[in-house]
Structure formats: structure tokens, C-alpha cells
């Protein structure tokens, strides 16, 4: 993306602004206000995701800083009355005044208590009085929903991006070989493709996930292994079409090798399609991750993603605690909406027919 900006800048100052196709696409995108705003929102999400992986943002999501299901601050007063009795929290008694007075000598655990009391300072933060409300409330264990959402979104985007990238790599390599060489290779890869597509995608995804187990890395691999077929079909069709295009034939006539024709001549000419496909896949995989985690095949129990947060929603809603779900919905919908609008914009901007 940065290279595009760099290319566009000098081009715009020239008298004849038409340059490479990417620069032209970028100019068109800029003119499409909706898509351009969406672009920046998506970029902000990407930044957030990066910050999340580097543990700059949302790192403290595990800290149980508030009472369970602490309401959002803007609701704190009205909800306080309806809150269920406070659930006992492990370690919470340390700061409570001792009701039964026993001397340290009589107390069977007196020594340990004494040591614990001395060490209290070290755990001061964990043992602080729990907050009654948080800007956007807390979950069952009193964790800040905002932090959790940030971290969760970061995980989901990470999974979506890497999964989509891996999936594109698989689909493109197989598709380009099948489409370019045809013949027996194509037959074999087509067989492979038809095997994968004859199982409905959700079933395939679940089967892989059930076998592979939970965890972020597993999920990325599973989603890549089950979602490459769309890219394969697209890339194969494009290679089939482009390999007989005159400029590729001309490249052959001047002595360009197969590899050169495949990757130097054809690949850049479908790169805009791949970018769109990559974006589509990212969105799809973010949605799939949510469903997988919801069904219990997603990220590990110690990790958080938008899906694993949604999995907690049914139990919370019944008790009237809606904020975690709303937070996730907002975070996810904004991402998916802007991403979709960006994809629409990209499609128009990069459409070679439009010029």
C-alpha cells in the first residue's frame, strides 16, 4: 500500500497523470469517498491488529479488574440495583476485615496468613477493590470488555489475514500450474479440487478443525487448507485465458521461459483479482473463525477472539448482560462493513475494463 502512495504522489503533479495500473487504481479509489474512508478504517484495524500481536494494545485483557459483569459506566446507576449478588472471587477475602478474631498463634494457618499479609503489597493491583463499573462493562470474571474486544479483534484479524494469505498462496500456486500447463497436471489438480469442493465448506472446515484441535495456529492452517478452492478456480481460469493472450504468446515468441511467463507476465496481470480475493477471504475467514470458536473448535481456552467472546454471549444475555455482545458486534460489523465497502471500491478501481 505504501508503494502505491509513493507512486501516486509524483504522478499527480505531472501534467499527464496516467501511470501504472496500480497508481491509476489508487487514484480511482481516492475519488470514491466511501471506499476511501473505508480504506482508512480498515487500515486503523490493521494497525490495531499489529499493536495487538506486539502486545502493545489489549495486553491487559486478562486482568480481572472489576466485579463480575460490571456494567458500562454510562449505565452504572440503573443497572447496579439489578445486579445479582456478587459472586465470591478467589483471593478477594484478603482485603476483607477478619470477622473472627484469633491470635496468630491459635490460628492453624496463622503463619501462612501472616506471610500472605506481608506479601500482599506485591499483589496489590490484583487485590485492589474491584471496580463497580467500566467504560463498556466487564465480563463474568470482571475483565474489561474494551480490552478484551481489542485483543479479540486483533486475534481475529490476525487469523483472518494469515489464513487468507496462506489460502491465496495455496490456491494461486495450484491454480496457476493447473491453468498454465493443462493436460495431466490439470487433470490431477482438478481432481484434487473436485474432492475438496464436493464436501460442503462448513463440513470440511469442521472436520479439519475437529481433527486438528484448538489454537490460533491450528485454526489458521485449517482455514487455509479448506478455503483455497475458490482462489484455485479463479486463478486457473485466468491462467487458462491469459496463457493464450497475445502478449503471453509474444513473450513465448521472444524466448521467455514458462516460469517467466507464469510469474513475470501473467501473475502481475491477475494481481488485482488476487487482492480482491484476498480481501474477500479475510472477511470470510474472520466470520468463519467466529463460528468455529462459537462451536468450540476455535482459539484455545486461554486465548480470546471475537468468536470466543460471542460464545459467552448466550449465557450473558439471559441474565441481561448485553455489553460484551454489543461490543463485539460493533467491532466486527464496523470492520466487515468497511472491508466490504473497500472491496467494492477496489473492484471498481482496479477493473481494467473500466478504462
Partner 1 sequence: MNQDTLLQVRNLKVSFRGEEGELTEALKGINFDIPRNRTVALVGESGSGKSVTSMAIMQLLPARNTVIDPASQVTFEGRDLLALEGAELRKMRGKDIAMIFQEPMSSLNPVFTVGDQIAETLMLHAGLGRRDAFKRAVALLTEVGLPDPEKRAKAYPHELSGGQQQRVMIAMAIACEPKLLIADEPTTALDVTIQKQILQLLADLQKKHGMSVLFITHDLGLVGEFADDVVVMRHGEIREAGSVEQIFNAPANPYTKALLNCRPHLDSRPLRLAVIDDFMQPGGYVKPGERVRGYEASDEIILDVQHLAKSFDIRQGLFGKRQFHAVKDVSFQLPRGKTLGIVGESGSGKTTVGLTLVRLHQATGGKALFHGKDLLAMSAREFHEYKRRIQIIFQNPYASLNPRFTVEQILTEPMMLHGIGRVQMERVKMAQALLDRVGLPARSLSRYPHEFSGGQRQRIAIARCLTLKPEVLICDESVSALDVSVQAQVLNLLQELQDEYKLSYLFISHDLAVVKHISDQVLVMNKGEVVEQGDSDAIYRAPAAAYTRKLLDSIPTGWQPQAA
Partner 2 sequence: MLSYIIRRVLQMIPTLFGVMLLVFCLFSVFGGDPSLVLAGKHMTPATLANVRAQLGLDQPLTTQFMIFVKQVFTLDFGTSWGSQQPVRDVLASRVGPSLTLSGALLVVDLLLAVPLAALVAYFRGGLTDRIVTICCTLAMSISALVYIVAGQYLLAYKWGLFPVGGWGHGFWTNLLIYVPLPMLMGLMVSLGPDIRFYRSFFVEEMNHDYVRTARAKGLSEQKVMLKHVLRNALIPVVTTVMMSLPYLLIGALVLESFFQIPGMGNEVVRAMNNSDFPIIKAITVYVALATMVFNLLADLIYKLIDPRVQLK
Which parts of this chain interact with partner 2 (CB under 8 A)? 191-192, 194-200, 202-204, 206-212, 287, 290-291, 294-297, 306-307, 310, 313-314, 317-318, 325, 328-329, 332-337, 340-341, 344
Is the backbone of residue 241 left (phi > 0), alpha (psi -120 to 50) or beta?
A: alpha
- C-beta closer to partner 1: residue 150 or 346: 346
Interface with partner 1 includes 20 (CB under 8 A)?
Answer: yes
Closest approach of partner 2 to the CB of residue 276, in Å: 14
Kind and range of the H or E run holding 243: none
Closest approach of partner 2 to the CB of residue 243, in Å: 22
Count of other CB atoms within 10 angstroms of residue 222: 26
- C-beta closer to partner 1: residue 139 or 186: 186
Interface with partner 1 includes 34 (CB under 8 A)?
Answer: no
Q: Of the listed pieces 12-20, 144-152, 166-174, 278-286, which binds partner 1 according to CB under 8 A?
A: 12-20
- Evaluate the CA torsion angle 151, 155, 157, 158 in order and state its sign: positive
Instruction: Report phi then psi at 134, rounded to 5.
Output: -135, 160
Task: Indicate the DSSP class of residue 87.
Answer: P
Sole residue written with cell 468497511: 338
- C-beta closer to partner 1: residue 19 or 214: 19
Sole residue written with cell 500481536: 53
Number of H helices, E strands in the chain: 16, 0
Answer for which of 53, 191, 247, 263 binds partner 1 (CB under 8 A) is 247
Closest to 180 measured CA to CA, from 66, 290, 259, 100:
259
- C-beta closer to partner 1: residue 268 or 296: 268
Q: How many residues bind partner 1 (CB under 8 A)?
A: 26
Task: Indicate the DSSP class of residue 340.
Answer: H
Interface with partner 1 includes 243 (CB under 8 A)?
Answer: no
Closest approach of partner 2 to the CB of residue 194, in Å: 5
Kind and range of the H or E run holding 336: helix 323-350
Pick one of partner 2, partner 1, none as the site partner of residue 307 (Cβ within 5 to 8 A by kind).
partner 2
- C-beta closer to partner 1: residue 16 or 122: 16
Pick one of partner 2, partner 1, none as the site partner of residue 254 (Cβ within 5 to 8 A by kind).
partner 1
Interface with partner 1 includes 268 (CB under 8 A)?
Answer: yes
Interface with partner 1 includes 184 (CB under 8 A)?
Answer: no
Determine whether 26 is exposed, middle or buried from the number of CB atoms within 10 Å of its CB (0-12, 13-18, 19+). buried
What dihedral do alpha carbons 268, 274, 276, 282 form, nearest 10°? -140
Closest approach of partner 1 to the CB of residue 208, in Å: 36
Separation of alpha carbons 139 and 148, rounded Å? 9
- C-beta closer to partner 2: residue 64 or 167: 167
Interface with partner 1 includes 111 (CB under 8 A)?
Answer: no
- C-beta closer to partner 1: residue 256 or 336: 256
Closest approach of partner 1 to the CB of residue 52, in Å: 35
Interface with partner 1 includes 21 (CB under 8 A)?
Answer: yes
Closest to 58 measured CA to CA, from 141, 154, 126, 133:
154
- C-beta closer to partner 2: residue 23 or 220: 220
Separation of alpha carbons 95 and 127, rounded Å? 7
Separation of alpha carbons 144 and 327, rounded Å? 11
In angstroms, what is the C-alpha Rg of the chain?
Answer: 27
Residues at the contact surface with partner 1, assessed by CB under 8 A: 16, 18-21, 28, 31, 245-256, 260, 265, 268-269, 352, 354-355
Amino acid at each position: 500500500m505504501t508503494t502505491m502512495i509513493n507512486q501516486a504522489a509524483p504522478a499527480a503533479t505531472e501534467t499527464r497523470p496516467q501511470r501504472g495500473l496500480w497508481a491509476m487504481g489508487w487514484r480511482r479509489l481516492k475519488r470514491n469517498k466511501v471506499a476511501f474512508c473505508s480504506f482508512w478504517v480498515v487500515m486503523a484495524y490493521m494497525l490495531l491488529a499489529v499493536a495487538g500481536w506486539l502486545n502493545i494494545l489489549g495486553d491487559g485483557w486478562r486482568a480481572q479488574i472489576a466485579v463480575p459483569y460490571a456494567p458500562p459506566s454510562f449505565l452504572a446507576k440503573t443497572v447496579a440495583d439489578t445486579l445479582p449478588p456478587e459472586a465470591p472471587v478467589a483471593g478477594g477475602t484478603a482485603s476483607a476485615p477478619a470477622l473472627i478474631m484469633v491470635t496468630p498463634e491459635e490460628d492453624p494457618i496463622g503463619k501462612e496468613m501472616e506471610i500472605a499479609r506481608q506479601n500482599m503489597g506485591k499483589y496489590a493491583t490484583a487485590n485492589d477493590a474491584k471496580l463497580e463499573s467500566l467504560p463498556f462493562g466487564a465480563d463474568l470474571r470482571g475483565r474489561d470488555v474494551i480490552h478484551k474486544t481489542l485483543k479479540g479483534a486483533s486475534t481475529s484479524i490476525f487469523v483472518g489475514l494469515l489464513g487468507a494469505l496462506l489460502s491465496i498462496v495455496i490456491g494461486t500456486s495450484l491454480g496457476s500450474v493447473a491453468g498454465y500447463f493443462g493436460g495431466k497436471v490439470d487433470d490431477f489438480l482438478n481432481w484434487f479440487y473436485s474432492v475438496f469442493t464436493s464436501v460442503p465448506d462448513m463440513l470440511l472446515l469442521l472436520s479439519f478443525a475437529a481433527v486438528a484441535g484448538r489454537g490460533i495456529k491450528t485454526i489458521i492452517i485449517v482455514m487455509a487448507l479448506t478455503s483455497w478452492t475458490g482462489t484455485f478456480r479463479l486463478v486457473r481460469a485466468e491462467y487458462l485465458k491469459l496463457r493464450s493472450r497475445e502478449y503471453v504468446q509474444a513473450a513465448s515468441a521472444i524466448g521467455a521461459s514458462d516460469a517467466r511467463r507464469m510469474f513475470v507476465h501473467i501473475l502481475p496481470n491477475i494481481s488485482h483479482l488476487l487482492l480482491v480475493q484476498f480481501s474477500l477471504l479475510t472477511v470470510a475467514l474472520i466470520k468463519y473463525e467466529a463460528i468455529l470458536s462459537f462451536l468450540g473448535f476455535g482459539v484455545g481456552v486461554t486465548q480470546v477472539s471475537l468468536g470466543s467472546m460471542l460464545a459467552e454471549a448466550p449465557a450473558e444475555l439471559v441474565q441481561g448482560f448485553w455489553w460484551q455482545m454489543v461490543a463485539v458486534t460493533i467491532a466486527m460489523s464496523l470492520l466487515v462493513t468497511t472491508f466490504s465497502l473497500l472491496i467494492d471500491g477496489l473492484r471498481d478501481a482496479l477493473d481494467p475494463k473500466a478504462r
